[in-house]
Chains A and B, each alone.
Chain A
Amino acid sequence: MRVLLFTGKGGVGKTTHTLATALGAAAHGHRVCVLSADPAHSLGDALGRPVGARAVQVAPGVVAREVNAQEELDRSWTEIHRWLRALLREGADELVAEEVLVFPGLEELVALRAVREAEATGEFDVCIVDCAPTGATLRMLRFPDALRIFMENFFELERRGARLLRPLVARTQAGRLLPREEFFDAVERLYGEVEDVRQILLDETRTSARLVVNPARVVVDETRRSFAYLCLYGVATDAVIVNRVLPPEAARGWFARWAAKERAELAEIEASFPVPLLHAPLQPSEVRGEPALRALAEALYAERDPADRFAEARPFRFVRTGGRTRLEIDLPGARKEELEVGVRGDELFIRVRDASRRVALPASLAGRAVARVRLAEGVLRIEFEP
């Protein structure tokens, strides 16, 4: 299954392009699943018909759903659920027990699981995710790392504690409140599932991000940073969609100067992203509903299959030359003073401006010191001591 992640600065047209791409892919014979992972869902607004937490067919070959944390909890994770219900038993009605479960991070977790679920059904060739604006999308991609920190630092400790205490407190008030072993198993399973999704997202042959951008300075600046952050997290971007380009017939009168400025921005975009650009002209009215979305897909992809891989790059790679291994990360536009690289045990810590990541090093590199860090031509190269 191909996974396409649509992201970009807010308001650039992510949802519109997610849906246009879905309709285009379906027209090429793919079975398409559209997921909205933006808590401020707008698939329904863009289609002009409601879409909910349950998958609905919105066009021939296209199924859509808006991922909803609450709904997801109702459907699964019985163990965790059961324990929390027991904990709140006295006087707790069902509603309250469920409300409490909407904890921070849940939205990211649920969105990631939805991708895995779409794959597990075997019913789809393409899964297109309408992501939240850049900041939240990065948080979603970082979630597996955050979960790992939790598992390593807190989870094992809790589990060990519970195991030791269980026989002691079996008949007491606390015994009832102590989570059962099944609870810990459930959390562990969950962790495994998130790891599975991470594998899908980091596989550039399966997953591609598409960044939507408008020809405006502030948007281009942010998108350039997002591109680098995606590379840092190991997610390959295969195209940048330039949305709302003034068509020649619109670039007159009051808009003539606007068009001149826009040309400068387009040149800037051209120079900023080492992947193919797809252009979508500003439409004569709001893009809403299926016919308008199909017209947009036509303008964007023409004859091409939207599910194709538009660029082959692998942004985060270990390269072996002359018996030595180095790590290379594509970071176009990054500046030296924005970078921080360090080794902690068998992990590498990398920070690029606002984004950071801890990378588990392969066994062959574990414990090696960093010999040299070099940033040249938009590529960060980290060499290790032999």
Chain B
Amino acid sequence: MRVVLYTGKGGVGKTTTAAATAACAAARGRRVLALSADPAHSLGDVLGERLGPEPRRVAASEVRGRPLVLDACEVDARAEMERHWGAVRDWLVAIFRYQGIEETVAEELALLPGAEELSALLAVEAFAKGGAYDLVVVDCAPTGSTLRLLALPELARSAFRVVLRMQQAIASVVTPLARGLLAVPLPDAAVFGDADALFYKRLRDLRRLVTGPRTSARLVVTPERMVIDEALRAHTDLALFEVPCDAVVMNRMLPDDATREAFFRDWSRVQTERLEEVEARFAPLPVLRAPLREDEVVGVAALARHGAELFGRRDPGAVLQTGPRLRFVRDDEGLRLELPLPHAEPRGLEVSKRDDELWIATGAQRRSLKLPRTLARASLRAARLAAGTLVVRFEAARP
């Protein structure tokens, strides 16, 4: 089972590329689900169908008379909150010691910040594990929101740790005294333990899903300066969260016939330069190319053709490129951590350590990375960027 996530600046053609990947893979015999995780859903527009939160077979899914296994759905925070109501309720009870939760409806919770991202992750996980599909293609929201989505499991862990810590301290000291005083019943310590385990385990599972070996992100770009700049930043940020990228799609290349038009002379000169730049800077990732089309690519047949042109003999569902991952290395100087961070600038990079967590910030994004037990007591010695890799050295704790 494979998960492929498409992201990039708004308007570059993510949805079309995601749908074309799904249609092409289905035409080649895979069982495919196309899932829209962008709250401004447009997957249905491209497929020419109304979609809902439950996957449904795309009506026109056949190519040359052969039926395809091509399903599609749009994540809906409300539906997802209802689906996972039991777990969500348990978390809230523990976190806010809020027993009146029954009166709050899933629909209201779906409005709370973070709910959309959580819903999308839960949905991808459910379908990825369900076994009904060989490939799940996710049409993500534009770059900024996608990073929020991928960072959510860790972010939530930090935020809720604070709240839980407070609640736990209060409960352990105060509960015996306060039970009689408060109208609201306070849960005892055991409930915290349960919720803690439940919550962390779920988040860890979600995080494993997005960083696992069967998940890849693909960046979609067009030959425009602003678009490429944003994709370079996104590539760094995805690497920071250990989400592997396996390809770049260069979309909307002016075809040769078009580049001969006088009005487009400057546009075509620029696009040649940009293509070379993208190939050089994202190397060794393959750069798949798709031409600007005079017809909008709508409908399964057109999408499958578009996908065939994009991938050629490549398998749309394959891992198109593997690169180095986060690793811990031991040498004469002790232990070091190596995290690939392509295009990262030393300026704006911050690294610090607290207990068993390493905090890394790259300009706009930051994450906390849980260190292995052996490093929990070690101190931070040096951090530097070398050839697109962050190397962090530790000083072993003195016995």
Contacts and interface: CB of A to CB of B under 8 A. Distances in A.
Contacts of A39: 144-145, 147-148, 364
Question: Which of B45, B266, B357 neighbours the largest number of chain A CB atoms within 10 Å of its CB?
Answer: B45
A291 to B, nearest CB: 15
A252 interface: yes
Nearest to B78: A356
Contacts of B80: none
Interface residues of A, number: 81
Contact of A103 (B98, B155, B169): B155
Contacts of B142: 10, 40, 132-133, 136
A154 B100 CA distance: 10
B188 interface: no
A45 B143 CA distance: 15
A341 interface: no
Nearest to A100: B158
A1 to B, nearest CB: 27
B357 to A, nearest CB: 8
B10 interface: yes
Contact of A284 (B229, B263, B350, B357): B263
Contacts of A169: 170, 173-174
Question: Which of B144, B152, B156, B296 neighbours the largest number of chain A CB atoms within 10 Å of its CB?
Answer: B144
B212 interface: no
Interface string A252-285: 1111011001000000000000000000000011
A289 to B, nearest CB: 11
B270 A285 contact: yes
Contact of A217 (B39, B255, B296, B352): B296
A371 interface: no
B155 A354 contact: no
Nearest to B160: A103
A174 B170 contact: yes
Nearest to B222: A11
Nearest to A150: B112
A194 interface: no
Contacts of A253: 257-258, 260-261
B178 A165 contact: yes
B114 A104 contact: yes
A386 interface: no
Given A146-B111, A168-B174, A136 B145 contact: yes
Contacts of B255: 254
A188 interface: no
Nearest to B117: A104
A99 B354 CA distance: 12
Nearest to B99: A157
Question: Which of A226, A255, A261 neighbours the largest number of chain B CB atoms within 10 Å of its CB?
Answer: A255
A164 B170 CA distance: 12
Interface string B289-310: 0000011101000000000000
Contact of B226 (A42, A92, A219): A42
A4 B369 CA distance: 40
A84 B162 CA distance: 8
Interface string A182-196: 000000000000000
Interface stretch (A137-145, A197-205, A304-312, A326-334): A137-145
A119 interface: no
A95 to B, nearest CB: 5
Contact of B294 (A214, A247, A261): A261
A138 B116 CA distance: 12
Given A173-B173, A177-B165, A254-B258, A11 B12 contact: yes
B366 A254 contact: no
B165 A154 contact: no
B145 A91 contact: no
B224 interface: yes
B112 A221 contact: no
B9 interface: yes
A9 B148 contact: no
Contacts of B174: 165, 168-169, 172, 174
B225 to A, nearest CB: 6
A161 interface: yes
Given A104-B114, A157-B98, A174-B173, A87 B184 contact: no
B143 A168 contact: no
B295 A261 contact: yes
Interface in A105-141: 105-106, 108, 132-136, 138-139
Contacts of A12: 10-11
A238 interface: no
Contacts of B366: 99, 102
Contact of B11 (A11, A138, A139, A217): A11
Contacts of A132: 142, 144-145
Given A164-B182, A261-B294, A254 B114 contact: no
A250 interface: yes
Contacts of A108: 113
A216 interface: yes
Contact of B40 (A84, A133, A154, A258): A133
Question: Which of B145, B161, B359 neighbours the largest number of chain A CB atoms within 10 Å of its CB?
Answer: B145
A108 to B, nearest CB: 7
Interface string B136-153: 000001111101100010
A96 interface: yes
Contacts of B42: 9, 218, 221-222
Given A11-B227, A99-B359, A174-B174, A104 B166 contact: no
A158 interface: yes
Contacts of A354: 39, 41, 76
Contacts of B170: 165, 169, 174, 177-178
Given A255-B258, A258-B294, 18 more contacts: A9-B11, A40-B142, A40-B143, A99-B359, A100-B161, A108-B113, A133-B10, A133-B142, A136-B145, A138-B39, A139-B39, A150-B112, A165-B178, A218-B45, A252-B263, A255-B294, A286-B224, A354-B41
* 10 smallest beta-carbon distances between A and B, as pairs: A10-B10, A11-B11, A105-B113, A104-B114, A135-B39, A135-B40, A39-B144, A40-B144, A250-B263, A104-B113
Interface of B: 9-12, 15-16, 38-42, 45-46, 76, 78, 96-98, 100, 104, 107-108, 111-114, 116-117, 141-145, 147-148, 152, 155-156, 158-159, 161-162, 165-166, 169-170, 172-174, 177-178, 181-182, 184, 222, 224-227, 229-230, 233, 255, 257-258, 260-264, 266-267, 270, 294-296, 298, 350, 352, 354-355, 357, 359, 361, 364, 366, 368
17 contacts: A10-B9, A11-B9, A11-B11, A40-B230, A42-B9, A95-B359, A102-B366, A104-B117, A136-B145, A139-B39, A164-B181, A178-B166, A218-B15, A255-B264, A261-B295, A285-B266, A356-B107
